A and B are shown apart, each in its own frame.
Chain A
Amino acid sequence: MKFTRDWLFSHLDADRPLADILDVLPMLGLEIESVVDRAAALTPFVIAEVISAEQHPNADKLRVCMVNIGAGDPVQVVCGAPNARAGMKGVFAPVGAYVPGIDLTLKTGEIRGELSNGMLCSEREMQLSDEHDGIIDLAADAPVGASFAAYAGLDDPIIEIAITPNRADCLGVRGVARDLAAAGYGQLKPIDASPLEGSFDSPITWDLNLAPDEVHLCPLVSGRAFTGLKNGSSPAWMANRLTAIGQRPISALVDITNYVMVDLGRPLHAYDIDKIDGGKLIIGRAKPGQTMTALNEKTYDLDEDMLVIGDANGPDDLAGIMGGERSGVSDATDKMFLEIAIFDQIAVATTGRKLNIHSDARFRFERGLDVTSPEWASGYVARLVMDICGGQTSHMVIAGDGADWKREIFLASDKVERLTGMIVPKARQTEILENLGFTVREETAGLQVSPPPWRGDIDGAADLVEEISRIHGFDHLPMVHLPREHVVAQPAVNVAQARPLRLRRAMAERGLTEAVTFSFLAEKEAVMFGGGDASLRLVNPISADLSIMRPSALPNLLSAAARNQDRGEAEIAMFEVGPVFLGDEPDQQRTAMAAIRHGAMAPREWHGSRRSVDVFDAKADAEAALAVLGVRRGSLQIESGGPDYFHPGRCGRLLQGRSLLAQFGELHPQVAAHFGLRNTLVGFELFLEDVPLAKSRGPARSYLKMSPFQPVSRDFAFILDNDVPASQLLRAVKSAAGPLVSDIQLFDVYQGKNIDDGQKSLAVNITLTPQKATLSEAEIEVISDAVIAAAGKNCGAVLRG
């Protein structure tokens, strides 16, 4: 919402300077977006008279002008404008002035041997317009020596404020003035909104073609015919204000409708009576198949949900949104019919959204207008029209019973204090509300308050409290610390919510950097990672790359890795903890923990420890994550295999009993290629919901009994078939070694010389920790024999000779 200072002051008899008003507007809820003072840059520019303009002795296209600048001696200026002539009034920029259009600070100069002390300016040089055919040619009565900015009405700062959706009343300058007056910044000036008797009957009448249950779509509409109009240019004050807020003056009648929309927040529509067929304007639903060309020269397909106004030739006004091209006013219009209507906010919003039309009228209609305005604004606007365009007006024609806007809201005496903690005396509450246009009746227990017809947003007592407290001032709100419920603060996160926090730290400790990537991705990548469900496809995505909810956090990590690779990162290790979506129901959203590693584990270095990542790095990351989640390594089973996006021979699942906890692997080469990743690429993913919360046994640990006896360690090398998984051998060894086993390590894997094809050698170290007495050789022998036997029986393994 834009207006100028003088425009505001045309409604507000302000007793404070603009600076104070700019300070208070945000504190009333009217946030300032910008304040532009066009005159500031034009201060040195004055009105001057060209006394003489002689041909330059050394240049055909230049003239040497003597210029009266209102003070001191005339000044000599060399000027190249074709229209420079003796007797004309123009705009003069003296030496030292900064000329914005040419980005230059003027200096005394000599042009082809003639002294030049300043400049006569074009509009473009002053950045007023693109006009540069000549210097500005002012009216003969322009006062020489006066400030050009003041003369041109540019010394009127433009103020733009943001209006929240509830404050439809402030979509007119008068509404802003009313708020300021209520806050004690001046008096609201009266306007003449008295009825205006016309001099003839309107040739156009209303036909409200609405079913009884639909009268709310247009509860009230007024109209007035005008004849004998002269539709020339609007007066300078109006044209200047419209220009200031970015609207191009068109003709007096169009400008009046635009002006009143901003001035009072009251959109109007003007028809050319000669273009209305049948003497009747019909308000009703459009018929399917009808079309209409609006004032923006676009043609729209209408349907029966849309409220339109039309004549015998069909619809030519999208009610509350935009008028039609066919019946609108033109420069030649001398007979006008002016519509002032109330339309249903939702109907306007729905049609506007369907047709994708964003107009100033729609913006105001869908936020709600003063529902009584068709009556009171009729006289006001008619006077304005006839002041500017002459002519006569008809009696008002009106249709509709009006909206039911009167309501009483009870404001209990203690309500303001109860809701805000702020004490505002009852008399002050009444005063504030009355200044805002509310009607207030005092009762013992509180106030009975009726909102004015322009405050459709006031819904209940809380709204009244807001009105009182914002005018009284939020600065008066007390600052009260929240009372402490516990002397020592309680945890803010529960056990489940603490898990992502701990996981993040654990992953970062392992050298993985945290990423936060989008929850959506390209459909192709969703499908690649097991997703692509139609219910998760966005109807209105930002782009095809961000069009469907992700089934996994891996693909976006891979995209991120590729970006980093392309920036020259050779070792990439990243993780993300975030949501993934298996469906659109709340319980189908999971929290994924995913990590990837690409390239080498460490940068190039001289120690020789650098190596490529491999699937066991991903497995270790997965096991570490599970350990953080309370899953003991010993309780995990491992299974080879996994989803398609992994290398089929280099991936696995970590399970506890039958439940899958995590999947890890080397990414499939085709997946790596899709993302453009060139080196070995591994990763893992788990969903936190799959990992059961560890049962809480309280903070105390179980009693630790430490053995005083020397542990013994034995090595075994087994030869077994290649396709027997190592985990099977370890399981067999562990169970055969019995309760004294405190540690098992697989410390060597060998294939090659001395081992048959299809076989491998696995070397295992077991540590036995006796609890009752040092183990004798014989006892150790028994355990060793059992281990060897079990390896043979369960895995077909034989002890390597």
Chain B
Amino acid sequence: MLALTALLIVGLAIGFFILSRAKAISVSQGALANLHSRPSYHGTYVMLWVVIVGLALLLVLMLGGNAYLDAKFLGDIRAALPDARDIEIDLVLSDVKAIAAGLVSSRIDPLREATAIDFATADAVRIWATVAISLGGALLAGVLGMRQISAEWRARNRSERIIVGILWLSAAVAVLTTLGIVLSLIFETFNFFASIGWRVDKFLFGTRWSPLSGVQDGMMDMDKVGAVPLFAGTLMITGIAMLVAVPIGLFAAIYLSEFASPKVRLWAKPMLEILAGIPTVVYGFFAAITVAPFIRNAGEAIGLSVASESALAAGIVMGVMIIPFISSLSDDVINAVPQSLRDGSYGLGATKAETIRQVVLPAALPGIVSAILLGVSRAIGETMIVVMAAGQGANLTANPLEAVTTVTVQIVMLITGDTEASTAAGPAFTLAFTLFCITLALNIFALRFVRKYREKYD
């Protein structure tokens, strides 16, 4: 119904475009040169107003109407069931909606049925009012806009200003996204810290992580929310990943940009790109089904006991995932080192290897460091590989053959677990906020680092 209204508004706008264009032509008295703006711009101007007014009204009424109805009927149900808990009232309301929509509800009783009839009526009124008001508003905007049309009317400048405004809004979506992320994370983080009595130190430095086991009356046991094992596990897996990715990625980049023949580059570069394009869930499956059992068997063959969800397996596969990231970024910065530096070095009699080690790499170092930092930031935020191949229990250990858990694994477990969403959200969002801050800091630091130490050659 409401989607149809949106379509109707768009149709109305197209109609007004045609009408306004025709009116502009007739106003020009046969010579289009008499107009300030071409007829299409007159049409566009009116059309933009119709769409903007219509859709804005629709959106506001839709959200507002819904919220108003929910609030009103929640109040009604509460009045009818004074002793019920909030969650029961919510359930009654969703049942009422289900009955009104002709769907299956969890229970049927006189209160639900009576309210459902009221609700159906109110809902119909809401929908028709929304449709009527938004269509009416759009129509009004169109009529008012058309009345402006005259030979002197600066329709092009005005419609261009509106369009640039829309472009600006699109760009501002990025800011809204950041704002949304920060606000939603901070809100739940505050709730969580409030539920452990603002002992943030217990979260940052405690060593026991089992947040859902000590919940009582919305308060959490502050001795069970220590995230150190998660940080340590994340750090270990990230460390292993970087031990794999940095040497391989860096040497591959050096070889490809300095030694490789065009032919080798022709197949080696796409190969690295394929590695970069493989979804992380595939890496996770590879880690869990192929690499972890292999490491376990290899370890047992030489007499080591290896957990089947060892940090080593997840770390190695994550390293493979990050290789193309490091190699392509390093490749770019190595290629950006001007040829004149190399030529100068060769002229002094240095070999290729000496030139690379003593001239090219130092010149490219800031870029390489930033590539590594960005790689670390990706490894920390990576989820699927660790969810599928790393452990789930918080385990504080320095042994890479044991199972450790990471921040991202815990977020997934908390959100997808059986615990009530409102309880699990606190620790999950707090972990996500920590993750967000760390990756943000790494990024900003990486960019700053490049900007500060980069040598400018031209």
A and B found bound together:
no
